[in-house]
Structure 1
Amino acid sequence: MELTIKRDKLIEEGLCDHCLGRQFAKLGYGLENYERGAILRYNKEVSKKDFVKDNIPKHSKIGGECCLCQGVFEKVEDYASLVCKTLKPYQLNSILVGVSLPQQMKEDEKRLWSKYGKQDAELIKSELNRLIGKRVLRKLNVEVDFERPDISPVVDIDKQKVKLQISSLLIYGKYNKYIRGISQTKWFHDRRVKSVEEIIAQPVLEVAEADGAKFHGAGREDIDVRCFGKRDFVLELIKPKKRNLDLQELERRINTYQEQVEVFELELTSKKKVKKIKGKRASKVYKALIVTAQEIDPDKLSKLKQLSGTIKQRTPQRVNHRRADMVRQREIYKLEPEILTANKFELIIKAEAGAYIKELISSDDGRTEPSVAQLLGCSAECERLDVIGIDN
């Protein structure tokens, strides 16, 4: 449809300058839609070359009301103020404003496009997002982020309310666990059991004023195993009000209010880090205290060298209620035994990620082959186990 004819028909529809100009939003550069609308309305004949700043009538201004927009552009400043008021309790550095339109307005826009085409048009939603967003950015002195903003406020035009979509705050770090009897994550079936997650999260939740937290660890140690290897983790804070955290002070606070867990190298991170540490398969070094049913023959200890290499482990009995029953192959890289008493010795073991160390020692009724018990020719149990190194 020739541009002037299309313009005339749209004016007959009773459109305001915003809604008129928006049908030609892809024409010209550096113009707002209401300025395009004014150019269209006050020039007898129009062509694509007329959409320049010099042709904007002096009396053009934001606002106006018509059957399509129902006067929403008259309230842009009010919507921006409502967004800022809703965001007042929150610290943020980036934002992306959105709107939710009444269904009738969206249907009216589709009807208009079905009659006159939409090849040069812009959604009314997009224009409102931009106009309200610009004002909010100026008022709050923050930046727009189209990928992962700290908060995305969505203005519900129908209900005159703002809904907030709040991005999690992610903190990366490493931890050591110095006592036994602490799980890595919460035990919902037994609240008496403490966890690394709760110990680390407690002071962070208080400072960030977050609704909750999720703990993402790079693997885990059993509840009765200590960890001295500085295990990677990401603490995900849900709906935090405070984001500009002093991480050095938080680290000090976590490490001084208790002695069970120590954290290191806290820093802000992203979802990519969670994916990376979840997929991490780092080999680990363990120190195991082993008790045998018989006195240890020092000569027999040399047989433990046969454990170096590939072992086969069927899913241990202690975890087969939650893991698939299958046989896995794992590599054992190093073993260093040291006799302590007649039936006790320490064993330093370096193993591939995913190796079951307790079963490597006991054999788990023959489900792990070879094993310490098998090679020594007597029952052997892991009395104490520590993670003393984690490869990065």
Structure 2
Amino acid sequence: MDLTELTGAILSYGEICDHCLGRMVGKRSFGLTNDQRGKALRISFYLARNEPYKPHEGTCWICQDFFEDIGEWADRVVAALEGTEFSTFLIGTRIPPLMAEGEEMVWSDLSLSFAEPLKSEINREVGKAVVERTGKEADLSRPDVVIILDPVSGTVEVQVNPVFFSGRYRKLERGIPQTHWDCRICRGKGCERCGFTGKQYPDSVEELIGRPVVELFGAEGAVLHGAGREDIDARMIGTGRPFVMEVVSPRRRTIDLRTVEMEVNKQAEGRVEVSLSGWSRREDVETIKSDKAHKKYRILVEIDGPLSFSELKSALEALKGV
């Protein structure tokens, strides 16, 4: 069918706004908004039929006139992001099933292959309004924050993506695990055995580095991803162990890593020290965990009584492969 017939068929389903009407041919032509496409289709339809023009009135049966409130939704997003540092963002929407099913029914009935989903237009239009209000950029691949719109509840949800930085740590004190361990008795709930901390050990390398990191970034947490791990009762000296730190839900993102390094070394003095090398990405976590590390151990052996060279050599041979 031609566009005039198609428009008539779409209008027969019920009252529909220009956005939803235009979105039925959203992948045709360029340089037009769906609102403009819808207006053009509606005008052409009534011109072709030589009938009085009827603009959209009432409530759109597909989107419930969502697009009349784009500015209000953008304001909600800006308010929800207040106090969070970000340069890029991404808008997402939880489309109610009835809305999605409604437009999909039209696509199926009319065999439409050039329609655009409602979710795509909502995300784009709200995103454009947020750009106007904040001057920030939309990023579809690596946004600093993701904002989810919920048309049913009228609320927005903010998901702050983590930041990553890498470096090396040296563990100067024995008896410290690399990462947090839940208490074996209460499994993290807190009991007399662990002093109601929920922890098997009072501290870990992860926590000694993570506490100042959480403070500086205003984050919810910090997760250490190490290239292997050393035994609890062993130190990690030499050049140190490579690691990537994942900073969870940071309110601040552009902290000088030199400041981070100094603060960690100050708070963990004598126990752990770090040397930070730069910012990282999530992919670096997988890389650092898959690397095959080679360890060197230095041991001090105390022997009672005399020992011949041949006996020493035999003892060392016996240790090979252990």
- TM class by shorter chain equals 0.7 to 0.9
TM-score (normalised: structure 1): 0.71
Is the aligned partner of 1:244 residue 2:254?
yes
Larger Rg over CA atoms: 1
Rounded to whole Å, the distance in 2 between the matches of 1:64 and 1:284 is: 73
- The within-5 A match list for 1:301-380 is 301-303=312-314, 306=317, 311=321, 360=322
CA 1:44–1:194 in 2, change beyond 3 Å: closer, same or farther?
A: closer
Q: Pick from 108, 114, 118 the counterpart of residue 124 of structure 1.
A: 118
Residue 22 (structure 1) aligns with: 23
How do 1:92-107 and structure 2 match up within 5 A?
92-107=86-101
Whichever structure has more strand as a proportion of its residues is 1
Which of 227, 233, 240 is matched with 2:243 structurally?
233
2:271 counterpart of 1:260: yes
Structure 1 pair 307/136, CA: closer, same or farther in 2 (3 Å)? farther
Map of 1:1-392 to 2, 5 A cutoff? 1-13=1-13, 14-43=15-44, 65-189=59-183, 190=194, 191=199, 192-228=201-237, 229-257=239-267, 258-292=269-303, 294-303=305-314, 306=317, 311=321, 360=322
How far off its partner does 1:269 sit? 0.9
TM-superposed CA distance for 1:306, in Å, is 4.0
| Closer, same or farther: CA 261–18 of 1 in aligned 2, 3 Å | same
- Distance in 1, Cα, partners of 2:112 & 2:274: 56
Query: SS state of the match for residue 127, structure 1?
Result: helix
Q: In the alignment, is the contact (CA less than 8 A) between 1:94 and 1:145 conserved in 2?
A: yes
**Residues 224 and 119 of structure 1, relative CA distance in 2, 3 Å threshold:** same
Q: Shift of the alpha carbon at 1:86? A: 0.5
Relative to structure 1, is the Cα distance of residues 2 and 294 closer, same or farther in structure 2, using a 3 angstrom cutoff? Answer: farther
Structure 2 CA distance for aligned equivalents of residues 239 and 26 of structure 1? 36
Separation (CA, whole Å) in 2 of partners of 1:162 and 1:242: 20
Task: Give the secondary-structure state (helix, strand or coil) at the position aligned to 2:147.
Answer: strand
Paired position in structure 2 for 1:339:
none
The structure-2 alpha-carbon separation of the partners of 1:293 and 1:147, relative to structure 1 and needing over 3 Å to count, comes to: farther
* RCO comparison, higher one (Cα < 8 Å, 6+): 2
| Corresponding residue pairs, total | 298
Q: How many Å apart are 1:262 and its aligned residue? A: 0.9
> Aligned equivalents of 2:58 and 2:44: distance in 1?
19
Residue segments in structure 2 that go unaligned for 5+ positions in a row: 48-54, 184-193
Which ranges in structure 1 are unaligned for 5 or more consecutive residues? Answer: 47-59, 312-359, 361-392
Q: Secondary structure at the match of 2:300?
A: strand
- How large is the Cα RMSD of the aligned pairs? 2.5
The CA deviation string for residues 166-199 of structure 1, in whole angstroms up to 9 with x for no partner, is 2222221110111212221123225453211111
What percentage of residue pairs aligned between the two structures are identical? 35
2:302 alignment partner, SS class: strand
